[in-house]
Chain A
Amino acid sequence: QQQVKQSPQSLIVQKGGISIINCAYENTAFDYFPWYQQFPGKGPALLIAIRPDVSEKKEGRFTISFNKSAKQFSLHIMDSQPGDSATYFCAAVRTRLTFGEGTQLTVNP
């Protein structure tokens, strides 16, 4: 049972472009929505997170947009850089992390 659906599975963006990854959830009990970034050979690391009472959160080039009524949230990476190439996981939390399936982002120079 997939509780958090993530798309696209893979994404290729040119340097300087905008990367957009989308997630949708079903369980309205989720109360925290983090995004994790994972580089090859490394564990996931928290990138940015949002609570459902906020519609948008920005940290540097990374922005989460949250639509509570649609039960959707998305990650926008502005001015994407080759160093952003990684796998991104959205997640939803009640008492534990429920991950989306992941998006492999490639930023071409």
Chain B
Amino acid sequence: DTEVTQTPKHLVMGMTNKKSLKCEQHMGHRAMYWYKQKAKKPPELMFVYSYEKLSINESVPSRFSPECPNSSLLNLHLHALQPEDSALYLCASSSRAVVYNEQFFGPGTRLTVL
């Protein structure tokens, strides 16, 4: 199974809402990533978890809060977002984070902030 799954596929939320994005992989990977992708742009790294611990935060605003409950699951909690946060949010996983290994991307969650 080389699949990374993400739910929901689409999410529309108001600026005062609290919502969460979920990512799951069953490849035994120990590194998981959140990326943000705007239309016609490359993915931008947000967070990296290595062995369930946050290892990289690319100066992401605190309205985005990641969580890694176990080695297979990654969440992104959203609160008080702005319209400019509307984007495709991609989750990825790889066998390790310290040394580059192929990253497998999920299909993403299309987020719209009204």
Contacts and interface: CB of A to CB of B under 8 A. Distances in A.
A106 to B, nearest CB: 14
Interface of B is mostly: loop
A66 to B, nearest CB: 17
B92 A46 contact: no
Interface stretch (B14-22, B60-68, B70-78, B103-111): B103-111
Contacts of B42: 89, 99-102
B107 A97 contact: no
Contacts of A89: 42
B44 to A, nearest CB: 8
Contacts of B45: 96-97
A32 B41 contact: no
Given A43-B90, A43-B107, A43-B108, A93 B100 contact: yes
A87 B41 CA distance: 10
A42 interface: yes
Contacts of B48: 96
Among all A-B residue pairs, the 5 with the closest Cβ atoms: A43-B105, A99-B42, A93-B100, A44-B105, A43-B90
